[in-house]
Amino acid sequence: MPIAPLQPMLAAARAGGYALGYFEAWDQTSFEAVIAACERAQAPAILGWGGAITSYDWLESGGIEQQAGIAMALAERATVPCAVMFNEAKTLAHLERALALGANAVMLDSSHLEYAENLASAAALCQLAHPLGAAVEAELGRLGDASDPNSVPELTDPVQAAEFVAASGVDALAVSVGNVHVMTAGESGVDLERLAAIAEAVDVPLVIHGGSGYPAWAVREAIARGVCKFNVGTRLKGRWLRELRAALSALPEALDIQQTVGSRNRGDVLERVREGLIAEILHMLELYGAAGRVS
**Which helix or strand (DSSP H or E) is residue 228 part of?**
strand 227-232
- From 292, 210, 235, select the one nearest 30 (Cα to Cα): 235
If you average pLDDT over every residue of the chain, what do you get? Answer: 96
**Which helix or strand (DSSP H or E) is residue 84 part of?**
strand 82-89
**Which helix or strand (DSSP H or E) is residue 282 part of?**
helix 269-288
Could you please report the per-residue DSSP string of 233-271? -HHHHHHHHHHHHHHHHT--SS--HHHHSS--STT-HHH
Collapsed DSSP state (helix, strand, coil) of residue 206: strand
Which pLDDT belongs to residue 262? 93
Could you please report the per-residue DSSP string of 135-162? EEEEEESB-EETT-TT---BPPPHHHHH
128 within some domain = yes
- Cα–Cα distance for residue pair 53/257, rounded to 1 Å: 33
Collapsed DSSP state (helix, strand, coil) of residue 6: helix
The pLDDT tens digits for 185-204 are 999 999 999 999 999 999 99
Domain that includes residue 21, residue range: 6-288
Lowest-confidence pick of 14-28, 57-71, 149-163: 149-163
- Is the pLDDT score of 22 beyond 80? yes
pLDDT band at 144 (very low <50, low <70, confident <90, very high): confident
187 within some domain = yes
**Domain CATH code at residue 248:** 3.20.20.70
Which pLDDT belongs to residue 141? 96
How many structural domains comprise the chain? Answer: 1
92 within some domain = yes
Lowest-confidence pick of 42-46, 96-100, 151-155: 151-155
Lowest-confidence pick of 4-13, 88-97, 138-147, 282-291: 138-147
- Cα–Cα distance for residue pair 275/277, rounded to 1 Å: 5
191 within some domain = yes
Q: Which residue intervals of 78-218 are DSSP H helices?
A: 92-100, 115-129, 158-168, 192-201
293 within some domain = no
